[in-house]
A and B are shown apart, each in its own frame.
Chain A
Amino acid sequence: MKINVMTDILEANDRIAAANSDVFKKHRNLVLNLMSSPGAGKTTLLEKTAEALKGKLRLGVIAGDIETTRDAERLQKYQLPVVQLTTGSACHLDANMVASALPHLDLSRVDILIIENVGNLVCPAEFKLGEDYKVMMLSVTEGDEKPLKYPLMFRESALLLINKIDLLKYTNFKLEEAKANARRVHPDLEIIDISCITGEGIPVWIAWLGQRYQTKFGTAKRA
């Protein structure tokens, strides 16, 4: 006997993500889902972002990691609200894990919440967490063909940060080709070149955050 099902495989996750999104809206949080390969520089970006946002908008972080709490330890000195989620064997965060972290964060003291996903270019793109935007980071040591290999992640992201551009001259990474490949998959993708070491491009990223906060809440700062 055949039974028609027609159920979306990620329906349960999407429902929890929508509930998370309501919580974020209530607390006036702009929420980003930050995704990349392992070692692209997500945690360093968070450190730079914490420094650059000081006195402007308040940053909060949910850091996903498979085993360790090292990312959260690195962020401690910035005195941010940080929650570390260790996923065990899971290679991505899902909406339910994020929901479980929310009671441990004082969201009323956060303007921008960055959810640092597990380093992986495949699975994180599948699971909505309740974020406003997906932001993807690609580093020049990874290769300029990545957008064609992992199209969903590039397609789903609103912004691509190309990191480690200070190392461009030591690699065979072709910056223009990488951008052309990314735009083949996602023509409207915004792209910012950055270096978390030299600080190049960080002000552009901070301005992007400010604009998106304003777009969501209509004010540059918390009322």
Chain B
Amino acid sequence: MAIAQNIISIATAAAEKEGARKITRVNVVAGELRGLIPLQLTYCFGVMAKNTIADGAQLGLEIIPVTGKCRKCEETFILKDYQYVCPKCQGEDVQTVGGTELRVKDIEVQ
């Protein structure tokens, strides 16, 4: 709910800055590690958008898979089931380089 509220605040601020009157779509990028539940977020977004210029806007949700980078052989790979093991050299010193994002990417306005 708080995340939906923040999305709307950010989107409406950006739209008003450009003098837009209505937001038709908000595109959000969310890492898999954030554990967002798309159905739930979409529902909360719809509720919180009421009586704002984002009322009725669509929420686009792009989920970024968890990506790791091996500190030993520098291989970058997508993690399956949160297994922090390098598929190339089997090294376990793996840094998370993707999958924790949470940002409003862009909005479509009228």
Contact = CB atoms under 8 A, between A and B. Distances in A.
Contacts of B14: 3, 5, 7
Interface in B1-52: 1-3, 6-7, 10-11, 14-15, 18, 20, 28, 33-35
A210 interface: no
A13 B10 CA distance: 13
A184 B81 CA distance: 8
Contacts of B28: 9
Interface residues of B, number: 33
14 contacts: A1-B18, A1-B110, A3-B106, A4-B105, A5-B103, A5-B107, A9-B3, A9-B7, A9-B104, A91-B1, A122-B35, A151-B82, A184-B81, A187-B84
A149 B10 CA distance: 29
B20 to A, nearest CB: 7
Given A2-B107, A3-B15, A90-B2, 14 more contacts: A1-B18, A1-B20, A2-B109, A3-B14, A3-B106, A4-B105, A8-B103, A9-B103, A10-B3, A12-B6, A13-B6, A148-B81, A152-B33, A186-B84
Interface of A: 1-10, 12-13, 90-92, 94, 122-123, 126-127, 148, 150-152, 155, 184-187
A155 B28 CA distance: 22
Nearest to B13: A7
Contacts of B94: 187
Nearest to B82: A185
A122 B37 CA distance: 10
Describe B's contact surface by its main secondary structure.
mixed
A202 to B, nearest CB: 30
Contact of B104 (A5, A184, A186): A5
A94 B94 CA distance: 30
Going nearest first, the 10 A-B pairs with the smallest beta carbon separation are A5-B104, A185-B82, A5-B14, A9-B102, A7-B10, A8-B103, A9-B6, A4-B106, A152-B33, A3-B107
B92 A187 contact: yes
A92 B110 CA distance: 35
Interface centre among A10, A151, A186 (most CB of B within 10 A): A151
B107 A184 contact: no
A9 B84 contact: no
Interface centre among A90, A92, A155 (most CB of B within 10 A): A155
Contacts of B92: 187
B74 interface: no
B35 A5 contact: no
B78 to A, nearest CB: 14
Nearest to A147: B82
Contacts of A152: 33-35, 100
A5 B110 contact: no
